Structure 1
Amino acid sequence: MLKSVSGPLLAAALTAAMTALPVGDTFAQASSPDRIIGVWESDDGDFKFEMFDAGETYAARVIYAKPLVEADGKTFKKDTLNPDPELRNRSLKGIVFLNDLKWDAGDHRWEGGSLYSGATGRTVSARVTLVGEKMELRGYMGTPTLGRTTVLHRAQ
């Protein structure tokens, strides 16, 4: 037998239920592929990049990365570890290091990307998830469970 709920108990139950559901602009914003666009940085300031629309996909270019600069903290190193010998003399400043991210509406994340590390010369798979106002950038080889996640916040 069901009991009738009224008064403060009903109000509390309705408030809890409504705040748990994504509604209106909040839901639309969470499912917008362009929400990834902008400047992102690590909390310690050691990594900063610009995410942009690259046509059918999304990509990112380096603004600053501590491992990619000389001891002076300003001069970008050369891409000496690149597997392509023709690229080894280029500066790592402004390189596009993240490519081919595609929006997956079902999983509410960007997947299928590739992430190039100028610090190691290796390219791995990548995906991005936005959790609240934070970006989780995951680089991995093979399966996403065998990877590393960097958490960033929006700088602009």
Structure 2
Amino acid sequence: MTDGGSFCMGRLFLLTSLVLTLFFTSPAFPQDQHRDPDRIVGKWITEKKNLIVEVYKQDHKYKAKIVWFDDTDDLNRPAEMRRDDQNPDPALRKRKILGLEILKLLAFNKESNSWENGVIYDALTGKEWSSYAFITNKGLLRVKGYWRFKIFSKSVDFLPVK
């Protein structure tokens, strides 16, 4: 004689296990994709649509360079002519802004699902900051620059360029 309650609980457990297995292994919920460190590789544009950077991987680290920026603030100085004139190193002040590496040394951290220990360069001030980045729930690339403590940070959000 079988206990009807145990039979129902067993079926409920089996059904729940099956649903959870399907949920977490279904292509509609690609868990591995969210942990793919290369998902930041590509071109990204700021929400203000005034800067495009290209993120790329080199020697297991991630970097970004400027590939376009809005130069309408000074029509006498088109983007191709602008230089890194705020750099504290006089030898680097002749570098072009277009193509300038502004983010380096980012390493993917699987546990936090973010890219950490980077350095970001602000060409407007000539200063470097510690940085980290992550993809938001809305699919934006959020890059944060900070000095000493992450709590005191500034962030820039980027949309993927399609």
Normalization by structure 2: what TM-score?
0.77
TM-score, normalisation: structure 1: 0.80
State which of 96, 99, 102 in structure 2 corresponds to 1:97. Answer: 102
Shift of residue 85 of structure 1? 1.1
Matched residue, 2:74: 71
Which one of 141, 144, 162 corresponds to residue 138 of structure 1?
Answer: 144
- Secondary structure in 1 aligned to 2:79? coil
- Where 1:86 maps in the other structure, the secondary structure is helix
Does structure 1 residue 129 correspond to structure 2 residue 134? yes
Q: Match of 1:50?
A: 54
Instruction: Indicate how the Cα distance of structure 1 residues 111 and 131 shifts in structure 2: closer, same or farther if over 3 A, else same.
Output: same
> Cα 1:22–1:124, aligned 2, differ >3 Å: closer, same or farther?
farther
1:88-145 Cα deviation digits (max 9, x unpaired): 1221111111000000011000000000011110000110101231111101111111
Paired position in structure 2 for 1:118: 123
Query: Which deviates the most, 52-61 or 72-81?
Result: 72-81
**Pair 90,97 (structure 1): closer, same or farther in 2 beyond 3 Å:** same
Rounded Cα–Cα distance in structure 2 between residues aligned with 1:118 and 1:112:
20
Count of residue pairs the alignment pairs up: 142
Q: 1:30 corresponds to which residue? A: 34
Ranges in structure 2 where 5+ consecutive residues have no aligned partner: 1-7
1:106 aligns with 2:106: no
Q: Based on CA coordinates, which of the two structures has the bigger radius of gyration?
A: 2
Q: Distance in 1 between matches of 2:154 and 2:92?
A: 26
State the percentage of identical aligned residues: 22
Deviations 1:35-69 (A, max 9, x none): 11010011221111000011120000001234x77
Cα distance in 2 between the residues matched to 1:81 and 1:69: 19
- CA spacing shift, 1:24–1:84, aligned 2, 3 Å: farther
Q: Matches of 2:127 and 2:42 in 1, distance apart?
A: 25
Q: Which residue of 2 aligns with 1:80?
A: 85
Match of 1:60 among 56, 59, 64: 64
Structure 1 unaligned spans of 5+: none
1:47 and 1:64 mapped to 2: Cα distance?
6
